[in-house]
Structure formats: structure tokens, C-alpha cells
Amino acid sequence: MKFRTFIISLAVAAGLVLVLGVGLLGGLTLRNPLYLLDRGGQAVPQAVQFVPKQSVWMASVLVRPDRLAQLWDYLASPQQRHSLRLDRERLERAMLAQTGLTYVQDLLPWLGEEITVALVAADVDHDPSNGRTPGYLVALSCRDLAKAQATLELFWQNRALAGDPLTFEDVGGTRLIYGRPTAQATAAGLAKTALPPLATALVANRVLLVANDPAVLRQALTAAQSTGDNLKTDWRYKLALKTLSTPRVGLLAVNLPQMEAWLHPAGTGNARVSWSAEPSSLAWGLMSLTLQRQGVLAEAAWVTTPGHRLEAHQHPLREGYSLAHYLPGSLTLEAVGQSLAELAQQLQPWVQPWGGKDGAITFLAQAVDPRWGPGTARQMVDRVDHTYALGMDLAPTADASDWILASPAQPSVRPWIETLAQQTQTQGLGLGRLDILGYPTTVWTRLSLQPSRPGALQVQTEVTGLSTPVGADQILATAPELMEQALAVAPSPANLPPWTDLISVFPQAGDSYLHLNWPSLETYLNQHVPQFRLWDTVAQPALKHLQTLTLTSYGQTDQVHHAGLFIQLQNT
């Protein structure tokens, strides 16, 4: 296994697996592991002082992995525990490959309550001409210095015996140890088969730093000694941290522009066209993760870029919440909120690394425009400036996804639908009327000729859209089945989709809610987002336990946008 693959495995496991509560490895039995639900772990990461403030991302796990594993086993059904143990064993083999170490024998005796992983730089030497070498930093807290030193010495002894020449370097009183391929091995073309590059430093007798390049350790040590150069002293981190609640078991920091550049490097053909030339107002975020019986609650604080100010507001969703009864509860994506424009803004920081600054609008356009023509999604966002219920069944292979939208028939909606009818007719779509469950419904259709038998053709009709008024509401859908499901359900709190019960896990009311069915979304992302595939492959032992994701927006101040994300896990 190449070191890049190994370190990505470690990073994904730390940033996703550990904080999701699956844990890495089985460990010592706790008398009552439920204390993590009430008290959480360590309050804040101590190693954050070694993380340069310009890092792409940082993930801190604030409790030992074996404690998380024990809690997960405690909450899981007896039938599931064997499978969980196998998943943890696979993660251990992936993470500790080529180290000769095991968690229980070598790490557990001295490991403290914190593991911090950071992508310090997308390219260590910042020279694209020689390829990209990401710089990764791992910080492990030590609760037993003597045992940590013994493990470190044994590790490097084994590396030396394996033929890895070691280098010792002093940086500000801290000893760095690292191995590099010999000149003879490089000349002979054997560098690819050599041991992966690794560098370590034991700092202040309490933190073991590990990196894939000594330059990363030098940068980490310099950042820790320079006020303002590390994340701990950065104004964004301090501002976001004081707005996030405790207890927690993890923190995740994301630099959105750097994350996007890392996933979509220049010259790879992944450039995206932006809807506007304006820079994104949200560029950096911090997430605090808390364990719950059903999964993990992440509360996020997205901080504005310098010079930008948000329009402060907090308008919890009251009216329009009942519109959710039009949604079947089984689609890939279902959302309720107060305007589609606000939904796009709220999704922006979550999807920017994968889809660019306008990724939310682009995603909506990919689902809506193929059926009703270019620009339809933009019109929809502009016109639905009031409460709504939106559902999408994201198809991984079909040309277009099915969706349904319900909203009050405000003055901005009905004229738009009339305009939409005129536009679609110019694109070759037919317009008709039919009755669905007693509701007069407008139907858009596309006619085509298909062979029925040798030498004969048959006219086929494809429904591309439907629209019907229901009292004071208006419903748009792309499939007759979705429209019929929406019209068949009486408007009652008892008929809301089951996922709305999860709203109670959030500590405060939100101004919108977005619910995602993870298995369906995962399939879609693997087909449409190439960068997602590596993460999905590496973290599959953990991601296969995900059931749903529910996102809400709490509102914002002039500097911070607040959001919540609940990750529902399958543990029964």
C-alpha cells in the first residue's frame, strides 16, 4: 500500500469513521460506555496548535477509538456485533499497513484521548511541475511517555533493519526522525518498492507527531511557535468554537476554497462554470460532533471571508411545515423550507468542495432542466420565494431525475407556470389535461416514434411534467406516480414523512430541513462525482452503516452561518 493511500485511509477514518461512532478497533471493556452520550470526550483538541491555519482540513477525535467502539457495540444488536468487529479489523489493517504495529498491543498502552489528522498542504513543495504530494499530519496524544518512546524506538529500529536509512534532525529542540529511499535505490528505480516515507517527532513529552514528509513536521513546529500562524490562534477558529455547544467527541475544520482546489486541481479538466463571478461569502467552517443513541449530531459554524457580511436572521420554520405531507418519504432527497434561494445558500458550504461555489444550483439544474429546458431551475429558485416542500429521486444512470415541488400558490408561482407552459411548447412538448384523484391536472408530454414490429412504427407518449392546484397550494411533479402519491395523502400531522420525527434531535428549531437517503445518494455520488469514489472505497466499512442525513439551518449572524447535521446510523 502506498503511503498516500494509507494516510488517506487514516484521514478518512479519523474524520468520518471515528467521529461517526463506529470506532476503529475493539478495546477494553467499559463498565458504562453510555457516559460518552452525556459527557462526551475531551473538550477541545490540544494538538490544534500544530495545525497551520491555511490547512485544507483538520479532523480531531477527542476520545480513544476503543471507547467509541465499545459504545457502538453496546448500542448495536447482538446479531450485528460480529459484523462490526470485522469492519474494525479491516480498518485496522488498512490504517496500520506496513507499520508492523497493532492498536491493542502497540498504541493502546500509551495513547491518550486525542487523535488529530490534518491535510496541511495539497502539495508539500508547491511545485506542480513535479506532481502533487499532499502533506499530511497526524498528532497522537500520549498518556504514558515511556511506553510511547519505547514504541517509537522499536518502530524505527524495525525500519532500519528493513533497510530504510534514517535521518535525525533537531528543530527548535525537538528531534525529528525520518527515512528516505537511498540514492542507490532511487537510481535503480526501486523507490516505488521502498518503505513509504515517514517522519515523526515527540513534542513536549505529550504529543507524537507523524507526517509523510519532514517538511510537514517543520511547518507544524514553526506554526506552534508563531502566534497567529496556527489554527488555535486563528480568529476564525476562535469565533466558530465559542458558538458551538458541548459535550463533543470530535471537531472537523474545513477550508472551503482550499478543499475545492485539492479535489479539483488546475489542469485536470475538472473546472466548473460558475453562475456568478462573485466570490463565496462562506469560506471556512468548524463542526462539533456529539454522539446520540441513533447516530451523530454535527453542529456547524460557517465563517465569512474577511470583508463580507451576512444578513443576520433567525426565522424558525413555523408555517409551511405541513407541506411535507405531499412528500412520499421515500425519495433520495426531501426538503422543506422558506424559499428555494435560501436552500441553495444553505447548501453552498456543504457541496462547494465537490461541486464548486454554485454547486447547489448546478445540482438542481441537472435534475430539473433536462425535462423542461435550460434555465428552468434558475426560474424555479427565483420564483419560489416562500415556503415549499421539495422531493427528488436521484437516478444514478437515467438522463433526468424525478422530482416533486409543492408550495402555496403565491402570485409569483402561477404566472411562472403559465410562462413555463409556453416555453415548453416551443421545445416540442405537448400540453394536455387529465384528472388525477379528482384534481384537474395539466400534463406536459413528449411524443416519439418507436418501432413496434418489423416495418411498423408506434407513437409513444412520455410524461415530462404535471401541475395541479390543491386548495391554496400548487404542486409540480415529473412523474404521474409522484403526483398521485401527493394527492392521495390527507394534510395531517399524522401523514408527515417518517423522517420528520428526527427533527427533534436538533437542539433548536431550524428555518429549513433537508433529508437525504444515504444508500441512494451514495450510488448517485459514485456515478456523478469521481472525487467521491476514493473516499467511498476507503471508508466503506463505516459508510455502509449510514442510513440517512438530515440537515437544518439555524440562521446566522453577520459573520457566522449556523447549521446542524444529524447522521443516522444503523445499530439495530
List, as one string, the DSSP characters of 436-487.
ETTEEEEEEEEEEEEEEETTEEEEEEEEEEEEEEETTEEEEESSHHHHHHHH
Residue with cell 444578513: 311
Angstrom distance (rounded) from CA 405 to CA 323: 10
φ and ψ of 186, to 5 deg: -65, -45
Nearest to 154 by CA among 200, 115, 194: 200
**C-alpha distances in angstroms, 124 versus 119, 212, 261, 420, 556?**
10, 10, 14, 51, 36
pLDDT at 59: 95
Residues 77 and 12 in one domain: yes
242, 261, 280: which is the final residue of a domain? 261
Same domain, 356 and 230: no
Model pLDDT, residue 364: 82
User: 146 burial class (0-12, 13-18, 19+ CB within 10 angstroms)?
Assistant: exposed
Task: Output the pLDDT for position 186.
Answer: 44
Q: How many CB atoms lie within 10 A of CB 215?
A: 17
Percent of the chain with pLDDT over 90: 41
Same structural domain for residues 42 and 182?
yes
What is the Cα–Cα distance from 121 to 127, expressed in whole angstroms? 12
> Which region among 132-136, 400-404, 422-426, 473-477 has the lowest average model confidence (pLDDT)?
422-426
Least trusted range by pLDDT, from 108-112, 178-182, 324-328? 178-182
* Domain assignment of residue 105, given as a range: 3-261
- Give dist(CA 117, CA 314) in Å, integer: 34
Q: Examine the domain organization and report whether 18 and 83 are in the same domain.
A: yes
pLDDT, residue 192, reads: 43
Residues contacting 511, CB < 8 A, separation 6+:
313, 314, 315, 316, 317, 337, 338, 342, 552, 553, 554, 555
Q: Are residues 32 and 172 in the same domain?
A: yes
- Spell out a b/e string for 248-265, using b for 16 or more CB atoms within 10 Å of the CB, else e: bbbbbbbbbbbbbebbbe
Kindly tell me if the per-residue pLDDT of 284 is higher than 80: yes
Average pLDDT over residues 96-120: 89
Give residue 280's pLDDT: 65
Q: How many domains does the chain have?
A: 2
What per-residue confidence (pLDDT) applies to 46?
Answer: 94
pLDDT of res. 445: 87
Pairing of the two strands 135-142 and 388-393: unpaired
- Tell me what pLDDT residue 277 has: 37
Q: How far apart are CA 396 and CA 399, in angstroms?
A: 9
**What is the model's pLDDT at position 103?**
87
Give domain status of residue 352, yes or no: yes
Q: Report if residue 378 sits inside a domain.
A: yes
Residues 244 and 309 grouped into a single domain: no
Domain-embedded: residue 149? yes
pLDDT in tens, 305-327: 888 888 888 888 876 577 999 99
Residue with cell 511557535: 225
- Mapped onto helix, strand or coil, the DSSP state of residue 386 is coil
pLDDT digits (tens, 9 = 90+) for 351-368: 877 777 677 778 788 878
How far apart CA 513 and CA 247 sit, in angstroms, is: 24
Residue 144: band (very low, low, confident or very high) from pLDDT cuts 50, 70, 90: very high
Would you state the pLDDT for residue 396? 67
Same-domain check for residues 384 and 503: yes
Looking at the predicted structure, is the pLDDT value of residue 24 above 60? Answer: no
The pTM of the full predicted model, rounded to 2 decimals, is 0.85
- For the chain, what is the mean pLDDT? 82
**pLDDT band for position 170 (cuts 50, 70, 90):** very high
More confident residue, 13 or 266: 266
Please identify, among 243, 261, 279, the residue that sits at the C-terminal boundary of a domain.
261
User: What does the alpha-carbon distance between residue 34 and residue 67 come to, in Å, rounded to a whole number?
Assistant: 10
> What is the rounded distance in angstroms from the CA atom of residue 264 to the CA atom of residue 248?
32
At residue 19, the 3 state secondary structure works out as: coil
At 20, the pLDDT band (50, 70, 90 cuts) reads: very low
- 168 within some domain: yes
Instruction: Report yes or no on 176 lying in a domain.
Output: yes
Q: What angle do CA 480, 483, 486 make, to 5 degrees?
A: 150
Distance CA 554, CA 566 (A): 13
**What whole-number percentage of the chain has pLDDT above 70?**
85
Question: In the predicted model, is pLDDT for residue 113 greater than 80?
Answer: yes
Last residue of a domain, one of 261, 286, 313: 261
Q: Is residue 306 part of a domain?
A: yes
Separation between Cα atoms, residue 122 and residue 327, nearest integer Å: 42
CB atoms within 10 A of CB 167: 11
- Assign 398 a pLDDT band (cuts: 50, 70, 90): low
Mean pLDDT of 479-485: 93
Please tell me the predicted confidence (pLDDT) of residue 326. 94
Structural contact between residues 340 and 390, judged by C-beta atoms closer than 8 angstroms: yes
Mean pLDDT, residues 157-161: 90
pLDDT at 299: 96
Considering the domain architecture, whether residues 324 and 240 belong to the same structural domain is answered as: no
Same domain membership, residue 227 and residue 309? no
Is 291 inside a domain boundary? no
pLDDT tens digit sequence for 31-85: 467 777 878 889 999 999 999 999 999 999 999 988 888 887 777 778 778 877 8
Whether residues 474 and 541 share a domain: the answer is yes
pLDDT of residue 526: 82
Which of 142-156, 247-261, 395-409 shows the lowest mean pLDDT across its residues?
Answer: 395-409
β-bridge partners, 445: 430, 463
- Side-chain half-sphere CA neighbours of 352 within 13 A: 25
Task: Band the pLDDT of 281: cuts 50, 70, 90.
Answer: confident
Q: Which amino acid is at 346?
A: Q
Quote the pLDDT of residue 421. 79
Asked whether the beta carbons of 58 and 118 are under 8 A apart, the reply is yes
Residues 256 and 318 in one domain: no
CB 191 within 8 A of CB 2: no
Q: Are residue 234 and residue 303 in the same domain, yes or no?
A: no
Residues 6+ away with beta carbon under 8 Å from 350:
551
Of 9 and 378, the one with more pLDDT: 378
Per residue in 497-533, pLDDT (tens digit) is 999 999 999 999 999 999 999 999 888 888 877 767 7
Q: Residue 14 has what pLDDT?
A: 45
Lowest mean pLDDT, pick from 121-130, 228-237, 282-291? 121-130
Q: For 554, left (φ over 0), alpha (ψ -120 to 50), or beta?
A: alpha
Q: For residue 50, is it within any domain? A: yes
Residues contacting 30, CB < 8 A, separation 6+: 67, 70, 71
Contact criterion met (CB below 8 Å) for 454 and 501 = no
